[in-house]
Chain A
Amino acid sequence: MSWITRLRGMLRRERLDQDLDEELRSHLEMRTADNLVAGMSPEEARFDAQKRFGNTTLLKEDTRKTDIVGWLDEAARDFRYALRMLHRSPGFTAVAVLTLALGIGANTAIFSVIDSVLVRPLPFHEPDHLVMVWESNSQHLNPHNTVSPPNFLDWQTRNTVFSSMAYIFDERDNLTGNGEPEEVVVQDVSTNFFSLLGVDPLIGPGLTPENGQPGHDHVVILSYGFWKERFAGDPAIVGKSILLNGHPQTVVGVAPQNFQWFIKDGSFTGAKPQMWSPFVFPQAFHDHKQIGRFLTVVARLHPGATHSQAQTQMNAIASRLEQEYPDFDGHWGVNVVPLRQQISGDLRPALLVLFGAVAFVLLIACANVSSLLLARAASREREMAIRTAIGATRWRIARQLLMESLLLALIGGGIGVALAVWGTNALLAASPANLLDLHSVPVDLRVLTFAAAATLLAGLLFGFLPSYISAHSRISETLKEGGRGSSSANRRAFARNAFVVAQLGLALVLLTGSGLLIRSFIRLIDVDPGFDTGHLLTFKIVLPRSKYGTDQLRMAFFQQLLARISTVPGVRSASMESFPPLAGLGAATGVHLLSQPQQSLEDLPVANVGVVGPDYFGTMNIPLRAGRLFDAQELAQEKHVTIVSQAFVDKYLHGVNPLGQKAAIYMKSLVENELQPSEIIGVVGDVHQIGLDIAPEPTVYWPHPELVMSAMTVLVRTSNDPFAMVSAARAELQKMDPQLPMAAVATMDQLLADSLSRSRFTMLLLGIFSALALVLAAVGIYGLVAYSVTQRTQELGIRIALGAQRGDVLRLVLSQGTRLTLLGVAVGVLAALAFSRLLSTLLFGVSATDPLTFAGVAALLAVVALAACFIPARRATRVDPIVALRYE
């Protein structure tokens, strides 16, 4: 049958219905008339005609199905009917829709973040073929150590698994001219960096191999953001010159808007770059003795080469290098890491835990709505029975109920997506700057598809059981018993109990997770950082070598700057440090204690180095444990003295008097040919350099004259709000050198908060989700008990009439809730024991099976659940026996 006829049929529908009605009526009349002629009584005649016809409604439906795109039309009718049903019980609809919106919204929000961070392809050509190549030292236990240039060159010539390799290292440079001086983050890269990633510049020719020739390397590519911000998106920027550290550099391109390269593990600045500049290895870099490890290396796998093949071959190359250069490459191996894993590594466990958590929330929400539907189905049992009696099939009824579920899910999903849009923005706003590498999470087709799938799945999930039970109820039973005590009612009661137990169990798992995170966060902030973080302003100054070429100039500049800032009213003291705590990685070096036998370079004790200014320990409030601090002379010129941390003494000088010991600290070997040992004159308290969750490392401190660094972080202890001092400090700086920018301005409290941000963020979100789960589970058990009280009104009335006391009734009702609660808690504890292990990477100082947490959240859940049961239980005690008995 052609579909045009069907279409015409659809258009003619109205008339068709009338026709059909009339046709059937005339048939009935004719039959009745004939029956009368045959001698039946009028009543008999009509009854016989009707009987032969059977179910006219069904007949009409069957006939109509042949006329039009049958089920589409029926679905539309089911839909309208469902809409009416939902409209008729706005309370139920509102609760169900809100519950679903929260569940679907939370899932969509977390999914959109996960999609952006873990799934969406990186904006590079064939990103799956990109890997990071790190050195890794078996003694320092850093799997992602930056790479030395001579090793890079050897890798490049010896490997056959990579089609190309590129290197990157970042630094802060001063940009001058064209307005305010500004510190910019520059990534120095090999000339093949962009072509390896497969990224073409938005405008300009970009880097070419010629830029690797000496004299042709004074060029830069600007990031899109910096081009827009500093140069107002000037389309004629290519070919123009900018001044970096006083040297002119020609702009040869602007990177595409979505291009970004930031690998935290190899970054010295800890910041995203604003421009890229080619860097060519000088001849000295080919020597396996002189050069440190500072490159980040990215490589593209040959088509067909796998990550594990690359790792195997690089292991072989590394062990050959170890033999060839035992002094330099001893204990050093190679670690090949897929780029995706590198980028998302930090966040992956936290995001997956959160995704699991929101999935649980959605399950709880589904159980709630399902339970509500079951309760409603019980009261609609008669309606369903009558519909079955007049010929509706099981499928017909199940479909009707499923349509209602899907409609609920659809409305909930729609609101959920709106919540998710709002929620992801809130999520990004709440997440600290460098945690999520996202400015906005787009709600695009992928996210909407996910939301739609979640909605559909939820609708089927919570709609299935109620529809199934209703469709399979036995009519005769239902009509006889008025819907109570029938087998379907029993099945429903069982299903609702099971749902409540499952909800409580799921909620307990989430509560345990967030309980553990909260406990570990409390442990974390309880850790003493080793110095006083309050009222401490920090900012960084980088002296350009072109202007401050000698040690004298640099020392003089910083001494004068600190002296000037110290006199500003409101400043209690000011000092400086080369690698201050909580601001990023420190710089580690080998230390040879002269009292101990000479060891190969690679077996030496390792310590962080801090180059400090006058009164550093006083300004930071780091206690002196033994000996003395640097005196004025030692702070003015090189006297070969050092102060070590307690951890240094504990690890390397255990049981020995550290004072007076001589230590050769290798960091100076880069600038001095003859390494002069330093005398240990004091021991100070430990400081957490990287974060509170990482144990303090052995540290050695030098006064500034020992190693005159040009990049120093100034630390200003203030009496009041540290930020109020920024402009005064900047004014002092400008008086000395108007070309110098003040970089990375922050308070130490801020840096501390940033270092805790990931833990806080995960804790906060999991806390919100588990609170949501707790509320939903409480609503679930409340609904169940309240419903059963309504159902048992008559029974309770009789009991009260027969003399049951308030307490008896209360106990009767509560016992149901208590049983379910205890069962739910038991199930939840078992599930939490299984699941909490997944959290172990996120925990600090708390075991994943911490009994205190388990007991605490179990008690919390039990109390909340019982409180939720108590409300309907109290209502039960106030049942008026007269009213209750008159009820039927």
Chain B
Amino acid sequence: MLKPKNDLLQGTLALLVLKTLAREAMHGYGITLHIQMVSKDFLRVEEGSLYPALHRMEQEGWVSAEWGISENNRRARYYRLTAKGRKQLAEEEKNWERLTRAVAQVLQFA
């Protein structure tokens, strides 16, 4: 039901979000900032994709969410990686490696 957006390769958004949350619990805005910063402004997460993805991950039980107070005293919803999410992250990292290796091989071969 989640429509793929063309801002990020399908599936990679979940990977990036899970990886981001593996470090610490974070709110949605924080996630966009983190990804943008770490990728040196190369990857920009669209809010229009982020929130549906976050809610889906919550439904899947990969992340849990609760209200907290942000660094500058705002109420914000914090997302935290669950055990299941950690497993999923490992899985997706493996998939990603396989994918990139495969793509690289194809590029070399040609």
A residues adjacent to B (C-beta < 8 A): 1, 5-6, 9, 19-20, 22-24, 26-27, 29-31, 33, 52-55, 58-59, 62-63, 65-67, 70
Contact = CB atoms under 8 A, between A and B. Distances in A.
Contact of A62 (B48, B74, B76): B48
A5 B59 contact: yes
B1 A27 contact: no
A66 B48 contact: no
A1 B1 CA distance: 12
Given A27-B29, A66-B2, A66-B52, A6 B74 contact: no
A54 B51 CA distance: 12
B78 to A, nearest CB: 10
Given A33-B72, A58-B48, A62-B52, A26 B59 contact: no
5 contacts: A52-B46, A54-B46, A58-B48, A65-B2, A66-B1
A interface SS class: helix
Nearest to B54: A63
Contacts, number: 74
B37 to A, nearest CB: 12
A30 B47 contact: no
Contact of A59 (B27, B51, B61): B51
Given A19-B77, A30-B70, A67 B55 contact: yes
B1 A23 contact: no
Interface residues of B, number: 22
B9 to A, nearest CB: 19
A52 B59 CA distance: 25
Q: Could you tell me the dominant secondary structure of chain B's interface residues?
A: mixed
Given A9-B59, A52-B47, A54-B47, A63 B74 contact: no
Given A63-B55, A66-B56, A30 B76 contact: yes
A65 B47 contact: no
A321 B47 CA distance: 93
A19 B72 CA distance: 20
Contacts of A20: 51, 55
A30 B60 contact: no
A439 B48 CA distance: 65
A19 B29 CA distance: 15
Interface string B25-63: 001110000000000000000111001100110011100
Given A30-B70, A54-B46, A66 B59 contact: yes
B59 A1 contact: yes
B73 to A, nearest CB: 11
A27 B30 CA distance: 9
B29 A59 contact: no
B55 A66 contact: yes
B3 interface: yes
Given A1-B61, A5-B59, A33-B72, 4 more contacts: A24-B51, A54-B47, A54-B48, A66-B52
Contacts of B52: 59, 62-63, 65-66
A31 B46 CA distance: 13
B76 A26 contact: yes
B3 A62 contact: yes
Q: Which 5 A-B pairs have CB atoms at the shortest separation, nearest pair first?
A: A66-B56, A30-B29, A23-B77, A63-B52, A62-B52
B44 to A, nearest CB: 9
B77 A26 contact: yes
A70 B55 CA distance: 13
B75 interface: yes
B55 A53 contact: no
Nearest to B59: A1
A629 B46 CA distance: 110
Contacts of A33: 72
A26 B77 CA distance: 9
